[in-house]
Amino acid sequence: MSEPFPRGLRLTAPAKLNLWLHVNGRREDGYHLLQTVFHLLDWGDRLVLRRREDGRIVRQGGLAEVTEEDDLAIRAARLLQAESGIDAGADIEVEKRIPAGAGLGGGSSDAATVLLGLNRLWGLEWPVRRLAGLGLHLGADVPVFVAGRSAFAEGVGEALTPVDLPEQWYVVVWPGIPVATAAVFQAPELTRNTPALTISALSGTPETRNDLQPVAIRLCPAIGESLAWLSQWGQARMSGSGSAVFLPVVDEDTARGIVRDSAWPAWAVRGVNVSPTLRELEAVPGAP
């Protein structure tokens, strides 16, 4: 008799781009109110999850400089285990491709992918909304990766409205220096009063920008250098709180040509509206 869930999973934890990011205000608890558009990418970290029967959560791989206590993938597994009361455990192997501190959502995506994968491996059958709510305790970007759709986000990033975006190619350049998100948001000169857009305005051509970009460039001048270089081919912009920058291009060949000329780590990547994680989970034999 076959088991109702697989013993192991290989999943992609996709990166994301913030096509723009506006800071609309600040709550009394210190969290900032944001509006942004997340475009998921068909590229990211690779995770291998295996079910254990001894209840242990065991990390394999990942970033050596990140402790288990700070590893969002491990924290996600332990949180789901505690909240569900499951006796099973998991081996979690992470092959990192997304640079840390790049504004591409690597840690948040790893956490979301663990929640989605262990939900299947442990046979919990929690709905996506419940997993996303749990993910919000780990980070504001986790829910969009759990939902698995490119989206317009509001609030602290958790209020999501799926949007269909052109699945175009991008060049992503990382200047090789991580930026601490907290340092960017705590900067006194950060713009915090950009007027909010309505979702209906997105159907037009509203004026947009990344409000975090000037602060991040001051903290990390290499961001400005990589932006200036990439802007030779069009309107480049920083993703999230940095330090990666990106440029939309017309096709894959153009993207790969620019990547070859980059003095920094760079990737030709394609935007997608449905997360590769969801597609991979749907392809698992016996998936509901």
- Residues marked active site are found at 16, 141
Q: Which two tokens stand for residue 13?
A: 């934890």
3-state secondary structure 84-113: HCCCCEEEEEEECCCCCCCCCCHHHHHHHH
